[in-house]
């Protein structure tokens, strides 16, 4: 009967085998070349110690025993040493190059597969998943998974080397071989044990460093506050305590490493001392030559590094397996139905029709459905009309826009006019690239079209003032632009497509009043035939609309004229007049003047 511990170990080994063979099947040929390099290296290593032995026995010892110099023997010896050395070098180059190719091509395949999966899954799939976690799976986790690959050819070679050298030593001389047979595996065992234990310390140190970095980031993020309250010293002290945790866990790791490094020097050296002593006895009895003894010592020193590497691979396996599990989780998740496919074509004359549309958040099939955020909404927007969506925070405005855009799942029926569609989302997301690339997103638009769209979005002025104009690179997420500028670029991106249907979530919230007016004016003039559904949070946006849809707690209260809604619903009035209320504080005389114009 095997103990549970052994069974667990067996299971781990089997899953490690599965992981490695799955990865090898991605690029089997490259792996084969790397492996051949690894094995040739092992063979050449054994051969090189044999060559040294030959030179010692047949050139050096003879020369010092019987003075005349044997030129021929010397040449053969040199040829052997140099030739095998070169062979060994070539094997290393082949092994390392192809191991690298294998590792990084596998990483490429995995990263690409995961990223493509992200691009194929609909938005609803992303709900409840953290962005950072998903990014890690395509990046850090892939790296962890493939990190075990590069050393495999070497490790395989090392195993071959171990077997070859031990059998050679045993064959040359039993006692000498026995010493090696005891020392080799125990060195390997010490390696694995050390790596496992060190792993704990390094993980702890890494976690403390993560905490510390997070805290530094937060503290510098809030530096205004820290300075406003003169809390510089207090913050430094607090962060210092976290830094001290990093220091302590690192010192613990160093203590372990110091012992291990010393042992790693000591054990092979002591083994060599044993070999010399045992060897001397064997030479004395005539069972061993000086060359054989020296070669044994030489070979043993060559084993130290490969043994270390096998230990490394074994201890690194769990990390790879964890990464692999996280990757396969993504790859084996079936592609969810795209809500876009459930959106039909509206009859002629209608821009959008929605009948009994309901949206329930929560991941589909997860069972834990929450309350619907959109309930039985009916909408009808004639072609070319503008519908403003109004409601308090949390009333379902954004959800409505995203459901209509096919970004969120729905029940009920949605039909939209056929033709190009554009969506302006609440967060104006810009990609790290040029302004042009952000506008075109891979479509071939002429400069003229681009500038027209920028014009409508009131973005021409600031874009043309940028040093490289359209070819200016905006930083990741567009950090080099202000919020209002980002929003205008995102709006231009939508207008560039001359959409038949424009869905917009609060287009002008980050614009100052003058710019807002200019943009809305442009929309009114240039989007004559476009059906527009837009979230409105300012009266000026509402005034642009033909009709208003008023939402309350996810339900449509009424779709109708602004004036009707104003007279019928007290809470509608309250929302619209939030700004109005502000204005009342500001002096009647000027109010009158403002109204006249």
Q: Tell me the three state secondary structure of residue 407.
A: coil
- Residue 493 · residue 456 · CB < 8 Å: no
568-597: contacts with other proteins (CB under 8 A)? 573-580, 582-583, 585-587, 589-591, 593-595, 597
Residue-wise burial string across 471-487, b where 16 or more C-beta atoms lie within 10 A, e elsewhere: eeebeeebeebeebbbb
Residue among 378, 498, 538, 552 that touches other proteins (CB under 8 A):
538
Residue among 233, 341, 446, 448 that touches other proteins (CB under 8 A):
233
Contacts 24+ apart (CB under 8 A), 543-546: 544/386, 544/388, 544/520, 545/386, 545/387, 545/388, 546/385, 546/386, 546/387
* Least spacing, CB of residue 352 vs other proteins, in Å: 16
Residues forming beta bridges with residue 532, ordered by sequence position: 386, 502
Task: Give the integer Cα–Cα distance in Å for 459 and 428.
Answer: 14
374-403: contacts with other proteins (CB under 8 A)? 392-393, 402
* Least spacing, CB of residue 46 vs other proteins, in Å: 15
Task: Give the integer Cα–Cα distance in Å for 436 and 101.
Answer: 35
Residue among 232, 333, 418, 461 that touches other proteins (CB under 8 A):
232
> Pick from 41, 23, 5: which is nearest to 317 by CA?
23
- CA-to-CA separations, 511 to 256, 390, 488, in angstroms, rounded: 59, 19, 8
Q: Tell me the three state secondary structure of residue 339.
A: helix
Residue 108 within binding range of other proteins, rule CB under 8 A: yes
- CA-to-CA separations, 292 to 46, 59, 75, 275, 590, in angstroms, rounded: 13, 13, 20, 11, 107
Which of these segments, 179-187, 207-215, 360-368, 370-378, binds other proteins (CB under 8 A)? 207-215
37-66: contacts with other proteins (CB under 8 A)? 52, 55-56, 59-61, 63-65
Helix (H) or strand (E) holding 565: helix 562-568
Q: Which is nearer to other proteins, 185 or 513 (CB)?
A: 513
Residue among 384, 419, 469, 539 that touches other proteins (CB under 8 A):
539
One symbol per residue from 146 to 175: x for binding other proteins (CB under 8 A), - otherwise; what is it? ----x-------------------------
* Least spacing, CB of residue 2 vs other proteins, in Å: 38
254-283: contacts with other proteins (CB under 8 A)? 254-255, 257-259, 261-263, 265-266, 269-270, 272-274, 276-277, 280-281, 283
Q: Give Rg (Cα) of the chain.
A: 36
Q: Is 412 exposed, middle or buried (0-12, 13-18, 19+ CB in 10 A)?
A: middle
Task: Give the integer Cα–Cα distance in Å for 123 and 165.
Answer: 58
Q: Which is nearer to other proteins, 377 or 424 (CB)?
A: 424
**DSSP letters of 457-486?**
TT-HHHHHHSTTGGGPEE-GGGTTS-HHHH
One symbol per residue from 426 to 465: x for binding other proteins (CB under 8 A), - otherwise; what is it? -x-x-xx--------xx-----------------------
333-372: contacts with other proteins (CB under 8 A)? 340
Q: Can you list the positions of beta strands (E) in 312-448?
A: 343-345, 350-359, 374-382, 386-391, 411-416, 421-424, 433-434
Q: Which is nearer to other proteins, 85 or 362 (CB)?
A: 85
Residues forming beta bridges with residue 353, ordered by sequence position: 380, 415
Residue 544 within binding range of other proteins, rule CB under 8 A: no
CA end-to-end span of the chain, whole Å? 95
Which of these segments, 114-122, 180-188, 409-417, 454-462, binds other proteins (CB under 8 A)? 114-122
Q: How many residues bind other proteins (CB under 8 A)?
A: 173
Residue 86 within binding range of other proteins, rule CB under 8 A: yes
Task: Give the integer Cα–Cα distance in Å for 566 and 577.
Answer: 10
Q: Which is nearer to other proteins, 307 or 490 (CB)?
A: 490
436's tokens: 């042009």
Which of these segments, 73-81, 308-316, 319-327, 409-417, binds other proteins (CB under 8 A)? 73-81
Which of these segments, 238-246, 306-314, 361-369, 550-558, binds other proteins (CB under 8 A)? 238-246
485-524: contacts with other proteins (CB under 8 A)? 490, 493, 497, 509-510, 512-514, 516-517
Residue 244 within binding range of other proteins, rule CB under 8 A: yes
Residue 213 within binding range of other proteins, rule CB under 8 A: yes
* Least spacing, CB of residue 183 vs other proteins, in Å: 14
Residue among 310, 407, 491, 557 that touches other proteins (CB under 8 A):
407
* Least spacing, CB of residue 330 vs other proteins, in Å: 11
């Amino acid at each position: 009967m095997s103990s549970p511990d052994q069974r667990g170990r067996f299971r781990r080994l089997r899953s490690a085998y599965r992981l490695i063979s799955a990865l090898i099947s991605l690029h089997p040929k490259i792996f084969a070349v790397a492996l051949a390099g690894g094995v040739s290296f092992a063979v050449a290593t054994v051969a090189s110690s044999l060559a040294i032995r030959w030179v010692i026995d047949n050139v050096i010892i003879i020369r010092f025993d019987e003075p005349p110099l044997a030129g021929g023997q010397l040449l053969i010896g040199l040829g052997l040493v140099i030739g095998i050395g070169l062979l060994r070098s070539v094997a290393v180059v082949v092994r390392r190059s192809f191991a690298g190719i294998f590792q990084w091509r596998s990483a490429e395949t995995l990263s690409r597969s995961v990223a493509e999966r992200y691009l194929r899954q609909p938005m609803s799939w992303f709900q409840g998943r953290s962005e950072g976690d998903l990014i890690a799976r395509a990046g850090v986790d892939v790296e962890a998974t493939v990190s075990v690959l590069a050393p495999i050819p070497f490790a395989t070679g090392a195993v071959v080397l171990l077997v070859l050298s031990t059998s050679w030593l045993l064959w040359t001389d039993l006692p000498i071989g026995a010493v090696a047979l005891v020392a080799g595996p125990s060195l390997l065992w010490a390696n694995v044990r050390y790596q496992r234990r060190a792993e704990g310390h390094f993980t702890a140190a890494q976690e403390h460093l993560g905490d510390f970095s997070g805290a530094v980031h937060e503290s510098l993020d809030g530096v205004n506050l820290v300075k406003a309250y003169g809390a510089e010293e207090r913050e430094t002290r607090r962060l210092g305590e976290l830094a001290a945790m990093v220091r302590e866990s690192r010192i613990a790791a160093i203590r372990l490493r110091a012992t291990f490094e010393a042992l790693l020097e000591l054990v092979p050296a002591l083994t060599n001392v044993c070999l010399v002593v045992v060897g001397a006895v064997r030479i004395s009895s005539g069972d061993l030559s000086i060359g054989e003894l020296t070669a044994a010592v030489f070979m043993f020193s060559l084993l130290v590094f490969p043994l270390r590497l096998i230990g490394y691979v074994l201890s690194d396996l769990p990390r790879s397996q964890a990464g692999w599990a996280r990757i396969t989780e993504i790859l084996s998740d079936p592609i969810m139905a795209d809500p876009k496919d459930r959106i039909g074509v509206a009859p002629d004359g209608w821009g959008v029709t929605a009948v009994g549309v309901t949206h329930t958040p929560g991941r589909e099939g997860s069972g834990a459905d929450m309350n619907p955020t959109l309930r039985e909404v009916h909408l009808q927007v004639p072609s070319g009309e503008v519908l403003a969506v109004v409601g308090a925070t949390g009333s379902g405005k954004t959800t409505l826009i995203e459901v209509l855009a096919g970004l969120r799942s729905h029940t009920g029926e949605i039909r939209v006019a056929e033709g190009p569609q554009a969506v302006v989302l609440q967060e104006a997301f810009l990609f790290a690239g040029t302004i042009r690339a952000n506008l075109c997103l891979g479509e071939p638009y002429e400069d003229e079209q681009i500038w027209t769209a920028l014009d409508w979005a009131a973005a021409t002025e600031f874009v043309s003032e940028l040093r490289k104009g359209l070819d200016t690179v905006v930083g990741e997420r567009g950090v080099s632009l202000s919020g209002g500028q980002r929003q205008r670029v995102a709006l231009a991106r939508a207008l560039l497509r001359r959409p038949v249907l424009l869905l917009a979530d609060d287009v002008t919230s980050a614009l100052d009043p003058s710019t807002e007016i200019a943009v809305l004016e442009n929309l009114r003039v240039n989007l004559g035939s476009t059906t527009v559904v837009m979230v409105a949070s300012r009266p000026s946006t509402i005034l642009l609309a033909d009709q208003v849809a008023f939402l309350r707690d996810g339900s449509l209260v009424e779709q109708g004229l602004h004036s009707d809604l104003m007279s019928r619903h007290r809470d509608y009035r309250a929302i619209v007049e939030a700004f109005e209320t502000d204005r009342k504080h500001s002096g009647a005389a000027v109010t009158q003047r403002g109204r006249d114009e």
